[in-house]
Amino acid sequence: MSGGAAYTGPSGDLARLSINQETVKQWSLPELAAGCNALGITQVGLWRAPVQSYGVERAARLMRDSGLTVTSLCRGGFFTDAEPGRRAAALDDNRAAIDEAATLGTGTLVLVSGGLPPGDRDIAAARERVADAIATLAPYAADRGVRLAVEALHPMYASDRCVISTLGQALDIAERFPAEQVAVVVDTYHLWWDDLVPAQIVRAGAGGRIASFQVADWVTPLPEGVLLGRGQLGDGCVDLRGFRTQVDATGFDGAVEVEIFSPALWARDGSEVLAEIAERYRRHVL
């Protein structure tokens, strides 16, 4: 298209929309690429397991050939085990995740810190082990053009999945390192309830620490295990547009990545889900 305006597709207002692949996990990677192309969506967030199954190099080529930018790779982390052997294994696995992110051409590896090991009641010490692991990994990642993005997960995951529960805690860790090496994820599903979030978004933005902005809605009742209860945009109680406005007010102009884990969405036709997300995104986020 030399000489012409850049092609923005039929939906220029979707320019910032990124689809996290877990949102339409019923799709293979080629189906995801085709589905995004069909709607004019140009960005995706990927997960390690399906990328590994498909082949990392092959996935990178598919994304490139489909004109898709990879906005993030989920996920590294799980740093809280104190036992030396398992700790070394976790660091090795994170180096592999960093390599995969570099191969995929994304500058953002999302970190889910890990929960408390069995029998452990010292969450402050577990958080320090997260910081220690990041200290080890950040230079390795930076050398490969990858920034580590610390994600705060909702406090209901604090014991078994992620000891980092607030944006404030994530920033407390990230700010120990250069902003070009370690940043944070702002995810509406995890943070919406926190009255301190507006101030922490300002703090994150001022420090250039927002690596990723993810959106999902909060709906109840929560399912057993509370992992797969996220809501389609607009179905819940999160002021998604208010969040996006606050994040943008800091100067952030990166992707708005939709990440919804929902068996109800997975049971439907992927194209139908993607079209609904685009419509909801326009109505509730833009």
**Which positions lie near a second copy, rule CB under 8 A?**
116, 120-124, 127, 154-156, 158-160, 165-166, 168-169, 192-196, 218-226, 236-239, 242
Q: For the chain, how long is the longest CA-to-CA vector? A: 64
Q: Give the torsion through C-alpha atoms of 279, 240, 267, 15, to 10 deg.
A: 50
Is residue 230 a contact partner of residue 190, using CB atoms and an 8 Å limit? Answer: no
Minimum Å gap between C-beta 219 and a second copy is 8
Nearest-approach distance from CB 124 to a second copy, in angstroms: 7
Beta strands in 147-181 (DSSP E): 147-151
Residue 36: CB atoms within 10 Å: 26
- Cα torsion angle, 222, 227, 230, 236, sign: positive
| Between 2 and 220, CB nearer to a second copy | 220
| Nearer residue to a second copy within complex by CB, 195 or 253 | 195
Instruction: Report which DSSP code applies to 162.
Output: B
User: Do 284 and 240 form a contact (C-beta atoms < 8 A)?
Assistant: yes
Name which of 149 and 158 has its Cβ closer to a second copy.
158
Q: Least CB distance from residue 117 to a second copy, whole Å?
A: 9
SS3 state at 150: strand
Q: Which two tokens stand for residue 107?
A: 């500058």
38 versus 226: smaller Cβ distance to a second copy: 226
Q: How far is the CB of 229 from a second copy (least distance, A)?
A: 9
How many Cβ atoms are within 10 Å of 188's Cβ, its own excluded? 26
Q: Under DSSP, is residue 190 helix (H, G, I), strand (E, B) or coil? A: helix
- What pairs with residue 230 in β-bridges? 218
Cα 86 to chain center, whole Å?
Answer: 25
Smallest separation (angstroms) from a second copy to the CB of 164: 10
Q: Find tokens 């049971």 and name the residue.
A: 267
**Least distance (Å) between residue 24 CB and a second copy:** 25
Residue 58's region, left for phi above 0, alpha for psi from -120 to 50, else beta, is alpha
- Nearer of residues 231 and 270 to a second copy, judged by Cβ: 231
> Minimum distance between the CB of residue 251 and a second copy, rounded to whole angstroms?
24
| SS3 call for 73 | strand
235 vs 248 by CB, closer to a second copy: 235
Residue (31 or 239) nearer to a second copy, CB:
239
